[in-house]
Amino acid sequence: MTNRSIDLSVNIAGVKFSNPVIAASGTFGFGREYSNYIDLDTIGGISVKGLTLEERQGNTPPRIAETPAGILNSVGLQNPGVRNFIKKELPFLKRYNTKIIANIAGNTVEEYCSMTEILSDIDIDAIELNVSCPNVKRGCAAFGNSVEGIREVTEQVRRYCKKPLIVKLTPNATDIKEIALAAEEAGADALSLINTILGMAIDIHKKRPILGNNVGGLSGPAVRPIAVRMVYEVANVVNIPVIGMGGIFDGEDAVEFLLAGASAVMVGTANFVNPTACVDVVEGIEDYLTRHNHNNVHEIIGKLQVY
């Protein structure tokens, strides 16, 4: 039950979200399936399934492997392509008032720029750059793994982007603070983190990797302490909003990120376990604020008292 006396609204780069809970990209599709379980207007926003310039079939199965306190995924960005998203999926999402974030992934800077130019002219609320993708022109090293890579893609996309620009940071970097600062200096309006952590699982009986792609991205509760630490570190060095994610399953998990400095949170893997997870997290944040006599969510954002 929503407590009307508590203000949960947050502002991220000029976009006002009714509450700080956003469905994370890749875990919520385009909202259709989850609309059978929840009212999409009860969550702050939806970061849609990662889009590429053209339709993509994704990686060879198996694509998902369950691990202790998490999952490994190697879906490979299966998606209908940016133009089919606009034509076939966006009209459904526009029935709702929840904010729409288009998550985009490219193999070259030019692909990122082309998608940004297309999306900048349609009715969405923000663009999220997935910089964990391999740059085929640079030996397939991920854009987000280096200061130079993230600066290049962010600067170029910024030239075409008419929407608030969120850069999604990979944890697979030597120093995430340097990466975050480079994205901010290059024109990011906000940062989201963390993306999945590279991992591997092996079927010891077949003596083969479980995933068809051999390796995949680890998500779920197992990564939460790492994610909270990285959000805390980044929030203390940048001057733009931070959106935290990584293993959030309930309201108390989300509050950890908010105290660490996140202005909003994204809920991902939990959606696979519990289709009402996003709404449950909203209600859990409200319950925490009520129990601790807070009137609005801003009273806890960045209020961690360190030793």
Output the domain CATH number for residue 289: 3.20.20.70
Q: Please give the Cα distance from 144 to 159 (Å, whole number).
A: 19
As for how many domains the chain has, the answer is 1
Is 68 within the bounds of a domain? no
Is 2 within the bounds of a domain? no
Q: How far is CA 103 from its chain centroid?
A: 8
Is 245 within the bounds of a domain? yes
- Exactly one of 133, 140, 161, 278 is catalytic; name it: 133
Is 72 within the bounds of a domain? no
pLDDT at 143: 84
As a whole number, the mean pLDDT across the chain is 95
Is 65 within the bounds of a domain? no
Is 30 within the bounds of a domain? yes
Domain span at residue 24?
10-58+77-198+219-299
113 belongs to the catalytic site: no
Contact between 14 and 161 under an 8 Å Cβ cutoff? The reply is: no
Q: Please give the Cα distance from 62 to 108 (Å, whole number).
A: 27
Query: pTM of the entire structure?
Result: 0.96
Dig out the tokens for 293 from the structure.
């006599």
| Segment (H or E) for 71 | strand 70-73
Q: What is the pLDDT of residues 86-141, one digit of tens each?
A: 999 999 999 999 999 999 999 899 999 999 999 999 999 999 999 986 544 554 45
Is 20 within the bounds of a domain? yes
